[in-house]
Amino acid sequence: MSTLALTSPQAARRSLLTLLANETRAELTKALRSPAFVLPTLALPLAFYSLFGIVLAPPGGGNAGYLLATFGVFAGLGPALFGFGAAIADERARGVLALKQVSPLPVGVFLGAKLATALVFTGTVLVGLYALAALWGGVALPRPAWLLLAVIQLLGVVPFCLLGLCIGLGLASSAAMGVTNLVFMVLAVLGGLWIPIMLFPGWMQAIGSVLPTYHVAALALQATGRTAGTDPWLHVAVLGASAAIFAAIAWRAWRAMPR
């Protein structure tokens, strides 16, 4: 608190921003130096979308447009879950997190940098997906729909990041990687990101409909003009509630950590 007394509020905010920028750059550098993170998060959504949305999709069948909405959600799932879940568990195990805790780095900056990194990765994949969809998928949307889609698919990573945080703070490093992978697959497949959820049997749809990925995908589909027959605010409410629950769990795990 003493720093606040010494500096003006603007300067404090500015130094915080500089701190966030530096921390984000460090996070990005770290992520980019890890091919095990970069390849799956960047290449997987683009490769899968090319395959299912374009190459294997019958022309004129509307698959490219539908899967653009769901694969754009998938694009954010990897960076969020792996960047927060497996990565934080690893940082904990190697003592990096403890180092950050004793350093004067505010926890908000630590998490903000990770969120910014997830957003940069997601945004990069989205640019690739939109280009594929426009050039080879025959997808054309009104300009506001393109923007709304991007906003939903970017903001949609927040609940996934918080879920990743629960895993990263709550589980041992050895378990975190496996659990992250499992959660990643379940959220992607049962949430209907790879295959439209209405093609599943009823019991699978029932499971899918409680997953946050399903609700982000429903909003993305609605943004592209696909009537999901549901109230968009319901999806927003479910996502808000699940984000709050994940945040509470993460907070408890944070408090329970030895320091």
Partner 1 sequence: MRISSKLLAAGGLVAALAAFFLALPEPGDRQGAATGGAFAIRGARVFDGEQVLPKATVLVRDGRIEAVGRNLEIPAGVAIIEAAGRTLLPGLIDSHVHAWGSALVDALNFGVTTTLGMFGDPAMLRELKPHRESLAPVAFADHFSSGWLATVPGGHGTQFGLPVPTLTTPAEAAPWVEARLAEGSDYIKIVYEPKGAGGLGPPFPSLDAPTMQALIEATKARSRPAVVHISRLEPARTALEAGADGLVHVFADRPIDEAFLALAVGRGAFVTPTLAVTASIAGEGEGAALALDPRVAPFLSPDQQRTLTQVVQHRLAFLNPAVGLDATRRLAAAGVDILAGSDAPNPGTAQGVSLHHELAMLVRAGLTPVEALVAATSAPARRFGLQERGRIAPGMRADLLLVAGDPTTDIGATLDIERIWKNGAPVERRRYTPTTP
Structure tokens at 58: 């019958």
Out of 41, 122, 213, 224, point to the residue binding partner 1 (CB under 8 A). Answer: 224
Out of 33, 198, 203, 255, point to the residue binding partner 1 (CB under 8 A). Answer: 198
Report how far residue 243's alpha carbon sits from residue 161's, in angstroms, rounded to the nearest whole number. 9
Residue (63 or 181) nearer to partner 1, CB: 63
Q: How far is the CB of 195 from partner 1 (least distance, A)?
A: 13
DSSP string, the chain: -HHHHHS-HHHHHHHHHHHHHHHHHHHHHHHHT-HHHHIIIIIHHHHHIIIIIIISSPTTSSHHHHHHHHHHHHHHHHHHHIIIIIHHHHHHHTTHHHHHHHSS--HHHHHHHHHHHHHHHHHHHHHHHHHHHHHTS-----HHHHHHHHHHHHHTHHHHHHHHHHHHHHS-HHHHHHHHHHHHHHHHHHTTSSS-GGGS-HHHHHHHTTSHHHHHHHHHHHHTT---SS-HHHHHHHHHHHHHHHHHHHHHHHHHS--
Regarding 178 and contact with partner 1 (CB under 8 A), the answer is: no
Residue (124 or 173) nearer to partner 1, CB: 124
Structure tokens at 242: 């699940």
Phi, psi (degrees; rounded to nearest 5) at 136: -120, -15
Q: How far is the CB of 242 from partner 1 (least distance, A)?
A: 22
Per-position x/- string for 24-63, each x denoting binding to partner 1 as judged by CB under 8 A, each - no binding: ----------------------------------xxxxxx
Q: How far is the CB of 117 from partner 1 (least distance, A)?
A: 16
Out of 1, 33, 104, 143, point to the residue binding partner 1 (CB under 8 A). Answer: 143
Report how far residue 229's alpha carbon sits from residue 89's, in angstroms, rounded to the nearest whole number. 40
Scan residues 227-246 and list those touching partner 1 (CB under 8 A).
227-230
Per-position x/- string for 58-97, each x denoting binding to partner 1 as judged by CB under 8 A, each - no binding: xxxxxx-xx-------------------------------
Regarding 214 and contact with partner 1 (CB under 8 A), the answer is: no
Q: How far is the CB of 244 from partner 1 (least distance, A)?
A: 28
Residue (142 or 178) nearer to partner 1, CB: 142
Out of 16, 134, 155, 253, point to the residue binding partner 1 (CB under 8 A). Answer: 134
Out of 22, 142, 151, 206, point to the residue binding partner 1 (CB under 8 A). Answer: 142
Q: Note the residues at the interface with partner 1 (CB under 8 A).
A: 58-63, 65-66, 127, 130-131, 134, 138-143, 146-147, 150, 198, 224-230
